[in-house]
Structure 1
Amino acid sequence: MSVRTVRRGPRLAAALLATGLLLTGCAGDGGGVRDAGRAETADKAGTGSGSVAAAASGTDKGGGAGTGASGPLEARGAEAREIPGLGPETRARIPSDTRQAVVVTGINRDSNLASVVVHERDPVTGWAPVTDTWPAHNALEGWTDDHNQGDLRSPIGVYGLTDAGGRLSDPGSRLPYDQGPAFSVTGTGFEGEPLEGSFDYVVAINYNRVPGNTPLDWARPLGDDKGGGIWIHVDHGGPTQACVSVPLDRMKELLRTLDPEKKPVVVMGDADSLAL
């Protein structure tokens, strides 16, 4: 599968920083987070992606039909596995053609600490984890099912993952990857941590944005008051404005895993909300 890498010239980068990027991102300075603009948004959309990375530790290690006593015939007769922790309402939001789901589970409604596991769906055996559990941050004030600009909460829901990018060169992304200096960020976060490098790699979350465009695109179909620019990006060691952040090595793994042919989605929210 070919990868479309886009490099933007200095004029366009400056324009994005002066306009669009001021409406996006997850970063901050001094007394608050500046999210390289305003990073927030909430609602549903979906498409999935990914390739097998590593068997999950501490979770159900599902896989193919197997051999011997648990061979293909037995697997076909068994009930297909579901993603642990997701209730019927949440599962119903995952598109039927999605075969990859990045599941972000917050500790509780008001927590900014979360965990991430990537799952893939086999047509016979169902869902199984393909990564171990990654530590993550979400928004400072936790989660919401009615996200608004500046509420410092991450949106609960199921959203497509179609576009990636970053300040650094493409590490092997299967999603279209937009690389350039407009992904730079400076300043400090809510806990005084430096934000530099947070946007070295990002995956846009399709809440209040136009899928198929660079993550730097600032079009907001639901209106600016519903936020925008919510990404999965490199963790800077503290809470975000609305994004989800994971360690640098995990971001590179995620970019190499997400597969547009599997129509990847992110399933995100606090544990109690996802269990509905």
Structure 2
Amino acid sequence: MIQRRTAVALLASPLLLTGCGGGAEATERRIPATRPAPTATPTPGTTPGTAVEAAPQRIPGLGPKIHAAIPDRSRQAVVVTGRGRNSPLSTVVLYERTDTGWQAGAAWPAHNALHGWSDHHTVGDLRSPLGVFTLSDAGGLLPDPGSRLPYHHSRGFVSPGTGFEGEPLAGSFDYVAAIDYNRKPGTSPLDWTRPLGPKRGGGVWLHVDHGGPTHACVSVAKAHMKELLRTLDPHRHPVVVMGYADWLADPAA
């Protein structure tokens, strides 16, 4: 279940039940990731050569099977921890792997799918996928905010209507990062290619929170999406690790 396409997921507006991308036409230019990888800097409050407290070698909350699914070359992991199997509420933390272990960023409140999580996502099940997925491409309705991932700026990133709790969906796709589930990495998030077939969904994204549950994606505040896009670096091979807390801790349970 855990692989490069690694798991299952879907979100979108009610208009696009096959996923956020929904096959909308990509009309504008794609910006390649040309920004250089960041250089290493000393931990604040220390000087080069000064011993610092070692970071955890394993990301807290992840059991051995899930942690082993993170590729060895991945130096960034967006961990999405749901409150429960059937809950739409979750928390997002960006971890960076350093020479001493995994360093945690801030914890951000987030939404996942209305009905929680699934280990076999299909179109219309209103559940987010469980698993580990690579993150290769980004885009949005708004101009590139400084994304390190290739960024596709397009008018196709629109989501009219209202969400499950009556909240407006406008602005949800101002900034998105495509989760590499049932899609072709290296293409626009709007690309319609579905390697597993259309019944397995697609168009699964990290995107701007609209204040309620999603169809399958994960959403965080707009400022946090901008921070993710400015931080996720293809040279560091980022992944998203997503599921409810008990499953992440022990998927065999």
TM above 0.5: yes
Aligned-partner residue type, residue 65 of structure 2: E
Aligned-partner residue type, residue 12 of structure 2: C
Offset at residue 71 of structure 1 (A): 4.2
Offset at residue 225 of structure 1 (A): 1.0
Aligned-partner residue type, residue 77 of structure 2: A
Match of 1:164 in 2: 138
1:140 to 114, 128, 133: 114
CA deviation vs aligned residue, 1:155-181 (integer Å, no higher than 9, x gap)? 000000010000000000000000010
List gaps (5 residues or longer) in structure 2.
1-9, 21-36
Alignment of 1:29-108 (within 5 A): 34=15, 36-39=16-19, 71-72=50-51, 81-108=57-84
1:186 to 153, 156, 160: 160
| CA shift in 2, pair 1:188/1:51, >3 Å | farther
CA distance in 2, matches of 1:25, 1:199: 11
Offset at residue 185 of structure 1 (A): 1.5
Match of 2:243 in 1: 269
Aligned-partner residue type, residue 159 of structure 2: V
CA distance in 2, matches of 1:26, 1:222: 18
| Larger fraction in strand | 2
Offset at residue 262 of structure 1 (A): 0.3
| Larger fraction in helix | 1
CA RMSD of aligned residues (A): 2.4
Match of 1:127 in 2: 102
8 Å contact 1:51–1:256 — kept in the other structure? no
**Size of the alignment, in residue pairs?**
222
Q: Which has the larger radius of gyration?
A: 1
Alignment of 1:126-275 (within 5 A): 126-129=101-104, 131-275=105-249
List gaps (5 residues or longer) in structure 1.
1-23, 29-33, 41-49, 53-62
Offset at residue 98 of structure 1 (A): 0.2
Match of 2:94 in 1: 118
8 Å contact 2:76–2:97 — kept in the other structure? yes
| Deviation beyond 6 Å, 4+ runs, structure 1 | none
**Percent sequence identity over matched residues?**
59
CA distance in 2, matches of 1:240, 1:98: 27
| CA shift in 2, pair 1:199/1:245, >3 Å | same
CA distance in 1, matches of 2:84, 2:139: 30
